[in-house]
Amino acid sequence: MPRNRRISAAAIAAAAISLLATSCVGATEDGASDDPNAKTTLTFWHGWSAPSEVEAIAANVKAFEKAHPNIKVKVVKGLTDDKINQALRAGGSNAPDVVSSFTTDNVGRFCSSNAFADLKPFLDKAKIDPAKTFLPQMAKYTEHNGKRCAVPLLGDAYGLYYNKDAFKEAGITEPPKTLSEFDKVVKKLTKTKGDGFERLGFMPSYLGYETTVEHYGSQFGVQYLDGAGKSNTAKDPAVKNMLKWQKNLVDDLGGAAKLNKFRTSLGDEWGPKHPFHTGQVAMQLDGEWRGKMAADAGLDFEVGAAPFPVPDDQVEDYGKGYLSGTILGIANTSAKKNAAWELVKYLSTDTEAVVSFANAIHNVPSTQEAIKSPKLNSDPVYRTFVDIAQHPKSSHAPSSVNGGAFLLTLQDYALKYEKGAEKDIDALLKKNDQQVDKDNEQAG
């Protein structure tokens, strides 16, 4: 499953300010003095809750305990970031030693607030070079301003799923590579019914599943922040191009209101009635997990996967996509950092552990060795996303002290533009920059 959930920009900004204002108070120094060979018990908090996911991480923890008989691990499952943040602020005997978070965008907060310990001393001692051990972009999104307080634990890559039967019926022989080709395919696959749709070629609305500014932005090469950390959307032509492309496609399909009416009739994103599963949407922007969910749903059509198209003037970069993933760190309040590091190192760098976990929960491996392993799932749909993860131009949004609030703020403005509530795109992006800079300043 994907590792990010959408909440309002105001809520995420408030959470960021709260975390940064309080987590530093309870933080200890990064230095570790415990004996990793002594008998001890670690507390490991994670967010996985589906039975297969919980079973998979439990198997890796059991293998770790076998390799480290002096360390026992108390695993607490299904933790949200809100609960994790509260525990990191409070510390105490019930707080976690090792934490995994699905919210990749929180790295900037965890690092700048010292909620997570600096991992550089541990990595250096173990002679682990993150740039050589992990996939480049995953190594990049687990540090902030040169400080590495997290490591990746599997990743997500985003691409285009398509209904091969619908393609064949429409005479489309291959997935589109450029956005102009994509727009034509979307319209060709769309079937209207009354004042709505029988089938939509693609749901481009920002209210749709996974159709967010950051997922589109990776294809355009958007530079959200400048070198000084200031919001850059009014100055980056890629942002305007992205908003105009999306708005034009929305309008060509009948407008925001018509699309939203159809959207509200669609099934749940995580259930068997997902609109791609039911054939109500012929193409879907999604991550590698969707392939397994589609297979489990027993669809009556063949599923194809490809990289999401790129702007026509960037066709040489076709194959790239948006990346994110689970992050793993050590709570700075932990008195067992050396032992905790042994668990972090095993889960994130042991090739057997990474491959088995990736296969079990259908995520992309985060290490160079694991992604080359002959034991890795060979399903061609899944492998499309493995290739996207390795593309040199695949990317994640930059880290920020305010987490992903700047992305949600831009999405709020983009939705206003999509609906026609804001018509002056230059003025809109200037307002976005002002709001993002104000929020970041408040967050520290």
Q: Per-residue pLDDT tens for 176-188? A: 999 999 999 999 9
Lowest mean pLDDT, pick from 29-33, 206-210, 292-296: 29-33
Task: Say what the pLDDT of residue 81 is.
Answer: 78
Q: Provide the phi-psi class of 288: left if phi over 0, else alpha when psi is between -120 and 50, else beta.
A: alpha
CA end-to-end span of the chain: 32
Q: Are residues 127 and 75 in the same domain?
A: yes
Q: Are residues 162 and 301 in the same domain?
A: yes
Q: Are 172 and 183 in contact (CB under 8 A)?
A: no
Q: Are residues 141 and 170 in the same domain?
A: no
Q: How many Cα atoms sit within 13 Å of 45 on the Cβ side? A: 21
User: What predicted TM-score, i.e. pTM, was given to this entire model?
Assistant: 0.91
Q: Are 430 and 234 in contact (CB under 8 A)?
A: yes
Average pLDDT over residues 280-297: 96
Residue 156 φ/ψ, nearest 5 degrees: -120, 135
Query: How buried is 125 (Cβ within 10 angstroms: 0-12 exposed, 13-18 middle, 19+ buried)?
Result: exposed
Task: Say what the pLDDT of residue 16 is.
Answer: 45
Domain membership of residue 220 as a residue range: 157-317
Question: For residues 141 and 107, what is the distance between their CA atoms, to the nearest angstrom?
Answer: 7
Q: What's the pLDDT tens digit per position in 4-13?
A: 444 444 444 4
Average pLDDT over residues 148-174: 97
pLDDT beyond 50 at 21: no
Q: Are 304 and 166 in contact (CB under 8 A)?
A: no
- The domain spanning residue 272 has which CATH number? 3.40.190.10
Is 123 within a domain? Answer: yes
Question: For residues 194 and 276, what is the distance between their CA atoms, to the nearest angstrom?
Answer: 21
Q: Are residues 216 and 286 in the same domain?
A: yes
Q: Are residues 99 and 138 in the same domain?
A: yes
Task: Say what the pLDDT of residue 444 is.
Answer: 73
Q: Are residues 167 and 150 in the same domain?
A: no
Is 359 within a domain? Answer: yes
Average pLDDT over residues 215-241: 97
Number of DSSP helices (H) and strands (E) in the chain, helices first: 20, 13
Is 427 within a domain? Answer: no
**Average per-residue pLDDT for the chain:** 92
Q: Are residues 99 and 245 in the same domain?
A: no
> Distance from CA of residue 25 to its chain's centroid?
29
Q: Are residues 204 and 179 in the same domain?
A: yes
Q: Are residues 311 and 227 in the same domain?
A: yes
